[in-house]
Structure 1
Amino acid sequence: MSSTPPSRRELRDRKAERIESKPRRRRRTWPWIVGGVFLLLVVLAVAGGIIGKQVYDKAMSARGHLETAMTGVQQVQKSVLAGDLDAAAKSSSVVSAQTAAAVAATKGWQWDFAEKLPMVGSNLSAVRTVAEVTDGLATDVVRPAASVKLSDLNIAGGRIDPAAITALSKTFESVDAGIQKATAALRKVDKAQLVGQVADGVTKLDTELTKLKPTMSTAREVLSVLPDALGAKGPRTYLLMFQGNSEARSLGGNAAQFLPITVDNGTITRGTVVSSSDFKHQGSPDPVVDLDPQAVNIFGDKIGRYTPDFTMVPNLPDAVRILRAWWARDIGTNIDAVLSIDPVTLSYILEATGPVTLATGDQLTAQNAVPLLLNEVYSRYPTGVEQDAFFASAADTIFDAVTSGKASPVKLIQSLFRASDEGRLLYLSNDPQQTQLVDNSRMSGIMPATDKEQSVLGVYLNDNTGSKKSYYLDMKIDACRTDQVVKGTMTLTSNLTEEAAGQLPPYITGPYFAAGDISSFAVFYGPAGGSLSSITIDGQPANILSQGEHLGRPVVKIEVFHHFAETHTVNVEFTAPGPGGPLKVWTTPMSRATPTTVEPTCK
């Protein structure tokens, strides 16, 4: 049976059916997905690398600008101290430009983006903060500091301008505010999240600002009261008290010379020198004023019966209260404040003024002032009248050198700070603001009432020979503190040889002891609220002359006796009532420096 062949259409339809009946092959899409992701990661990595490189370059740029700025700050300091305000202004402009560039380097979307990343973000944020803080310091601190005229502090022609001091005070107010602002900003940085190099940089800047803060605050406070102290609102009278270290007393020495000084609207006028011989009631049976019974228990009532002895009390307000009573009875003029110095302080001042020639023809220099004023004068001028004339001439001449503008203000200020740190410069005023400025400092002459912030061991020496032989004594002190105990070792050495003693004039040897013998009363003050445990001299129990409580502290007094050149060692131990602040030693300022070592723990 024949059949009809399929048409072309039928053939096409059959082929299509066969094709449709077979399973379809899948398209391989995953390589394209992975490839796309990889390509995206590559693009992001390249972009991230580019951004990271840009941020890194910005960070290095900021660092470079900040380092250059720090060099400029040093130049500003040098120029100000040299009195070159033009150079200071130029260096200040360089600093401002560099810090502004450092801040600009930490801007832009790349930096903002990187700051949001984990780990690296906190470090970049810290870098930006340091840049901004430093830029703020350039504006608020460096620029005003560059305008400071230290010549405004000069005393020229016997006068210092209160108005110039007022203007200087406003500058320091701005500087102090800038430092406070910068410190507050740095304290907000969380250093725990930073890598070592960045954390170290933040810590370094914070440390430097922290060290600078008290200096600037003190300068601002001093300048704020200085115009009134200079008589801007009326005359002020100061009593300059000279203590002679060759006859040791707790606060320094026998206060035998006094110079009244009046300041009226900046003009400084000196009065007539007063000596101890001008006080006519020495040795009266009754003290010149009521005395603290605790002080009398330790030192005796002679602190109020003889003017050479009121500085035995190691508390400036008490000593000045006794002095004021003497002054009111025998001199009668007004006193607004008392400033105490010694010949060592004068030697520091002479470093600022240079040598001076006295009316006697003697030349005083920084090198010879101490031996000449404390020792040699008694051989050159054997009578009391001649000695008083010499000391009066020395006071007048040094006063003229300072008030004439001869002294460099920077060196003069440095010399006074040095003397204050050593307890040689003491100050007490009836002005509450001035008193507050020196509170809690060595300059106040007041040991802290408690040991909470600062522990104190007091080691004081008082001459018992009625002579000038303390000049031949040198003292060394070692001390330590724990929560339970405070220990101190005083090594006292006489360098007075038998040969030298045989050549001493009577005014140095005194009438009571042999020429080669030096008797001294050593007085030790322990921690506030503590008690005496033991005291020995050269390893043997010491003979206690008096003991008790004074100024809220345990006190003990013994005699240390030297026969010609020899050394004695006193060990004292006090119980402490508990933890206290870092230990400091307050001691009688001697003719030469007293080396002091303080250990944080006791062996």
Structure 2
Amino acid sequence: MSTPSSRREHRERQNNAQTKHDAPRPRRRRIWPWILVSVLVVLIVIGVVGAIIGKHVYDSAAKARTHLAAAMTDVQQVQKSILAGDLDAASKGADAASQQTAAAVAATKDWQWRFGEKLPIVGQNLVAVRTVAQVTDGLANDVVKPAASVRLSDFTFTDGAINVAAITNLSKTFTTVDAGIDKALAGLKKVDRATLIGPVADGVSKLETELKKVGPTMSTAQEVLSVLPSALGANGAKDYVLMFQGNSEARSLGGNAAQFLPVHVENGKIVRGTVVSSSDFTHQPRPEPVVPLDPQAVNIFGDKIGRYSPDFTMVPNFPTAVQILHGWWASDIHTDFQGVLSIDPVALSYVLEATGPVTLATGDQLTSQNAVSLLLNEVYFRYPQSKDQDAFFASAADSIFTKVTAGEASPVKLIQALFRAADEGRLLYQSDDPQQTKLIDNSRMSGIMPTSNAEQTAVGVYLNDNTGSKKSYYLDMAIDACRADGGAVSGHATLTSTLTQDKANELPNYIKGPYFAAEDISSYVVVYGPVGSELTGITIDGNPASPLSQGEHLGRPAVKVEVVNHLTDTHTIAFSFKTAKTEGPLAIWTTPMSRATPAKVDPTCQ
């Protein structure tokens, strides 16, 4: 048991405890403010560095944009120089464009730009800008520079010949150009567009859209140039027939083919033969067709397409028409040919825009303004006799051919004229060369309606004169079509006559024809539905029509009706087809007439 402490001891213990309590404690350092300051300093440093990098990248992007804009200006100058035939200026412009695009690429190659590409969101935009710069630089070197060496004069004639060696070199150039465009599109395809800001996304899309527009044109040019030397007789002589269709007596493919110009081609040298007239085909109508005919075509048009030469272009299929022409040629002309090029007076008027006026043996001057009216109408007022008409047409064909082969046509305008004529179905071509045939497959120039609805859901409206006259010149046609719910296709074809009573009173017999009154124009209209469809209705001016024939032809339903226009009246055919499948966009194929045919397509029926 412990002894109780004394008062003194108790006081000493209290004093010791108090002293201990009052002794100074060791000081703890306040660390957190220094951490905050350090973080702020680091953030400021990062911000300053980021701002510097950001400013640098922004400046680089601005430089790249400036260089690319300058390059585009240079490219436009290259295009103008090529069209003007100034290869020196085109070459300088191409070099300048290449320098600008190289500078644009350089602006996107430093470490700051690469650093920026790794950042979220903004990085993908910088990658896109760099890719566009690189793609454009590739275009400058792989497309613009080679294109700057193109001489459009290589497409023109010199002393009646085209330089096939130059065409071969052009083919190689366009192969390089075509590959350059494909490479550029492949580069743009790699860009991840999910996080791109508006202006950058728009820039990428715009470049891609433009390349996709020009790509097919370059591919087509390359393909055409690859077969052109052979077509021009580089590997052996070729014989062709240049066929002229007269739209004043309408046929599905254009008109009555009454004039033919044989052409012999060897190593680029083109020599014309003697003009052949349809009157040179003897014993018409033949008791039997000159070649075996497609029974489906006979069902719609009758076997006269093979027994009477003015009717073989009734069939809206150019290879079939050429096959029948081969029959007539073998029977009465006794020569052979490897291809046929068909053209009408409207297309000739386009060619005359490139050549300028030509003077005929009669003293008449044929121009782009008067060619259609003179060749399709006025000639019959001036020359009542068919032999005089044939001489006039032969002179026109000879004069234009001479003008073109003399190299007097503007190559740019001539190419534009031919493309325009082909787009309108006024320029048709058929060859026994499979490679050439494949090139123009599915184009209007082939004269073959699409065999499926995959690329376009096409309807056809074709006109054939039934008056035995040249009065189709006074007809205008307008067509519209639309697609209803469920894929059904419907539309209208409106025929309007411009023939007045005063004009009817003065028509010569060759225009008036022997079967109808001068005031009346009888036409057969054949309507084709989409591939695999079914005709569900056809009316004329709202009344049920009485088809003259109907059935399947060219893989489509076809129906033929007669429309008779009296003076300046108008008649409307309404048609409808039920379709199981309409894959491609709706399109209208029709007869090229003396004047343009408005064709309106509505994606959906209102």
Which TM-score tier does this pair reach, normalised by the shorter chain?
over 0.9
Match for residue 564 of structure 1?
Answer: 567
Distance in 2 separating the partners of 1:188 and 1:20 = 77
1:65 aligns with 2:47: no
* Displacement after TM superposition at 1:579 (Å): 2.9
Distance in 2 separating the partners of 1:229 and 1:344 = 25
Q: 1:208 aligns with which of 182, 187, 210?
A: 210
Match for residue 574 of structure 1?
Answer: 577
Match for residue 243 of structure 2?
Answer: 241
Number of equivalences: 588
Letter in 2 for 1:495: T
* Displacement after TM superposition at 1:112 (Å): 0.7
1:86 aligns with 2:88: yes
Match for residue 531 of structure 1?
Answer: 534
Output aligned runs, 1:493-508, within 5 Å.
Answer: 493-508=496-511
Are the aligned partners of 2:487 and 2:579 in contact in 1 as well (CA < 8 Å)? yes
Output aligned runs, 1:285-296, within 5 Å.
Answer: 285-296=287-298
The one-character-per-residue Cα deviations of 1:257-310 (angstroms, maximum 9, x if unpaired) are: 000001100100000000011001211211111111111111011001000000
> Which secondary structure state, in structure 2, belongs to the residue aligned with residue 253 of structure 1?
strand
Match for residue 8 of structure 1?
Answer: none
Are the aligned partners of 2:164 and 2:232 in contact in 1 as well (CA < 8 Å)? yes
The one-character-per-residue Cα deviations of 1:14-59 (angstroms, maximum 9, x if unpaired) are: 9xx9899531111222211111111111111111101100001001
Distance in 1 separating the partners of 2:24 and 2:277 = 131
Letter in 1 for 2:27: R
Distance in 1 separating the partners of 2:187 and 2:549 = 55
Letter in 2 for 1:305: R
Distance in 1 separating the partners of 2:371 and 2:66 = 50
Could you tell me which runs of 5 or more consecutive residues in structure 1 were left unpaired when the two chains were aligned. Answer: 1-13
* Displacement after TM superposition at 1:512 (Å): 1.0
1:463 aligns with 2:445: no
1:334 aligns with 2:333: no
Match for residue 271 of structure 1?
Answer: 273
Letter in 2 for 1:515: A
Q: 1:547 aligns with which of 546, 550, 558?
A: 550
Distance in 2 separating the partners of 1:567 and 1:126 = 58
Distance in 1 separating the partners of 2:94 and 2:511 = 57
> Which secondary structure state, in structure 2, belongs to the residue aligned with residue 543 of structure 1?
coil
Distance in 1 separating the partners of 2:22 and 2:147 = 93
* Displacement after TM superposition at 1:381 (Å): 1.0
1:170 aligns with 2:177: no
Q: 2:396 aligns with which of 389, 394, 398?
A: 394
Letter in 2 for 1:96: S
* Displacement after TM superposition at 1:484 (Å): 2.5
* Displacement after TM superposition at 1:319 (Å): 0.9
Distance in 1 separating the partners of 2:561 and 2:332 = 34
1:415 aligns with 2:417: yes
Match for residue 114 of structure 2?
Answer: 112
Are the aligned partners of 2:457 and 2:582 in contact in 1 as well (CA < 8 Å)? no
1:583 aligns with 2:581: no
The one-character-per-residue Cα deviations of 1:507-554 (angstroms, maximum 9, x if unpaired) are: 110111111110000000001111110111111111211111001100
1:319 aligns with 2:321: yes
Distance in 2 separating the partners of 1:184 and 1:481 = 35
Distance in 2 separating the partners of 1:486 and 1:452 = 15
Identity of counterpart residues, as a percentage? 70
Distance in 2 separating the partners of 1:393 and 1:430 = 29
TM-score in terms of structure 1 length: 0.96
Match for residue 51 of structure 1?
Answer: 53
Could you tell me which runs of 5 or more consecutive residues in structure 2 were left unpaired when the two chains were aligned. Answer: 1-15
Are the aligned partners of 2:476 and 2:595 in contact in 1 as well (CA < 8 Å)? yes
* Displacement after TM superposition at 1:577 (Å): 1.5
Which 10-residue stretch deviates more, 112-121 or 574-583? 574-583
Output aligned runs, 1:88-103, within 5 Å.
Answer: 88-103=90-105
Distance in 1 separating the partners of 2:130 and 2:454 = 39
Distance in 2 separating the partners of 1:321 and 1:281 = 19
Distance in 2 separating the partners of 1:19 and 1:272 = 134
Distance in 2 separating the partners of 1:156 and 1:361 = 26
1:509 aligns with 2:512: yes
Which 10-residue stretch deviates more, 448-457 or 113-122? 448-457
* Displacement after TM superposition at 1:580 (Å): 1.9
Distance in 1 separating the partners of 2:409 and 2:591 = 28
Are the aligned partners of 2:244 and 2:343 in contact in 1 as well (CA < 8 Å)? yes
Over aligned residues, Cα RMSD in angstroms? 1.2
1:488 aligns with 2:491: yes
Distance in 1 separating the partners of 2:549 and 2:361 = 46
1:158 aligns with 2:197: no
Output aligned runs, 1:370-409, within 5 Å.
Answer: 370-409=372-411
Distance in 1 separating the partners of 2:469 and 2:35 = 104
Letter in 1 for 2:525: A
Letter in 1 for 2:526: V
> Which secondary structure state, in structure 2, belongs to the residue aligned with residue 457 of structure 1?
strand
Are the aligned partners of 2:463 and 2:526 in contact in 1 as well (CA < 8 Å)? yes
Match for residue 25 of structure 1?
Answer: 27
